[in-house]
Amino acid sequence: MTADFRHFYQKNWAERTAIVAQQAHLTPAEQALFKQYYLPQHHEIIENYLTDYPLPMGLAVNLVVDGVDHIVPMVTEEPSVIAAASNGAKIVKCAGGFTTVLNQREMIGQIVLEQLSDPAATAAVIEAHAAALLKVADAAHPSLKKRGGGARRLRTRVLGQGYLSIDLFVDVQAAMGANMLNSMLEAVAKSIGVMTKQDALMSILSNYATASLVKAICDIPVGLLQAGRYAGKLVAQKIASASTVAQLDPYRATTHNKGIMNGIDAVAIASGNDWRALESGAHAYAVKDGQYRGMSTWTSDGRMLHGELELPLPVGIVGGSIKINELAQLNQRILGIQTAGDLERIMVAIGLAQNLAALRALVTTGIQQGHMHLQLKSLAMAAGATPEELPVILQRLELASQQDLATTQQLIAELRQTKEETDD
């Protein structure tokens, strides 16, 4: 029988879980997972809340940003992410650490008008009243201006086909600022409607935060890059070449950039930030000149390897779900940050550290060597190996001709059989 999901959002937690259990034919053990990870306060974060979905959280170490040591909480299910970030950060730490550049931190929102017979003329009217419209924006969120933030400027862009975008730039202070910006945009849109007799098609923030750019830079003596039989100078040259390929080829750039975002997303999740917004903005920035390219660049002169990564990273340390997420607040303490800008600097540096470690592995021993040990560990745990059994199982797996679930389960069974015979 099909369960009744009518008015599901109005039902309490016990009713919801009972309905889901009926629909999916869940066992008592499966239903118990809902209770195991349940937090009552999370009813207020999302609709139709059932339970939390836990992900592992660990610490990246060795990160030095602008002369300050940081330990960095990261949330990720991918085994090699934290290891790579720590590895890359360690190499750069030996070279003096990362330096960062953050010139401004403003969010951009759009008010879009449609079906304009003369968009340029409408734009001119709006620009003539820009000062008044900025006051309207500030009046919609006066507390922001009191804290030193507020509306900074307006920009108009003719999009074509009768569309006009009015872009509002706002200093949102310590917040990511989506809600406050949207409120300000709606107030400005009403004033523009009166002024131009044109109703807005929409008023919404943009996640393409080109007024919140942050850059990480590092310079590494090539001797620090030696990997096994590969001399540091050769490794630096190969990393620079791999970077060039990511600038030329979107197929390579996509994977190159995924690795960078591995680190940035993991810090974003740990700090309670919207990693999806950061992803969309970062990938849009990667195609800003018309071709999708690698987000980072690496060059070598034979003595030093120079790396740079610049991205829009509009993060916050207050507001949204952060205020009710105790772990996000704790992680801010662990990070040792005071401002949203501090968090941006750490995140871009982690992204560049991640990229360095990945490229160094890729052009020397190959990406699989480091990956595979961690992947085999996950495989052994999935097959049921206990922490005590893991070292032996990993050794045997590395020598096995097949490295799959069935083989791992067989190895575990053989180990346990041997132990039983020994105990007897």
Report the catalytic residues: 78, 258, 274, 371
Tally of CB atoms within 10 A around 253: 21
What is the C-alpha to C-alpha distance for residues 196 and 199, in angstroms, rounded to an integer? 8
What's 41's DSSP letter? Answer: G
Q: At 287, list the tokens.
A: 């195609």
- Contact status, residue 316 vs residue 274, Cβ threshold 8 Å: no
Q: Which residues have a Cβ under 8 Å from the Cβ of 116 and sit 6 or more positions away? A: 122, 162, 163, 164, 198
Tally of CB atoms within 10 A around 139: 14
- Contact status, residue 335 vs residue 350, Cβ threshold 8 Å: no
What's 287's DSSP letter? Answer: T
Q: Which residues have a Cβ under 8 Å from the Cβ of 15 and sit 6 or more positions away? A: none
Q: At 9, list the tokens.
A: 């959002």
What is the C-alpha to C-alpha distance for residues 307 and 266, in angstroms, rounded to an integer? 21
Secondary structure (DSSP) of 124-193: HHHHHTHHHHHHHHHHHSHHHHHTT-EEEEEEEEEEETTEEEEEEEEE-TTB--HHHHHHHHHHHHHHHH
Q: At 150, list the tokens.
A: 């507020």
Residue 248 is which amino acid? L
Q: At 321, list the tokens.
A: 């779900």
Dihedral sign computed on CA atoms, order 172, 178, 182, 183? negative
Number of H helices, E strands in the chain: 15, 10
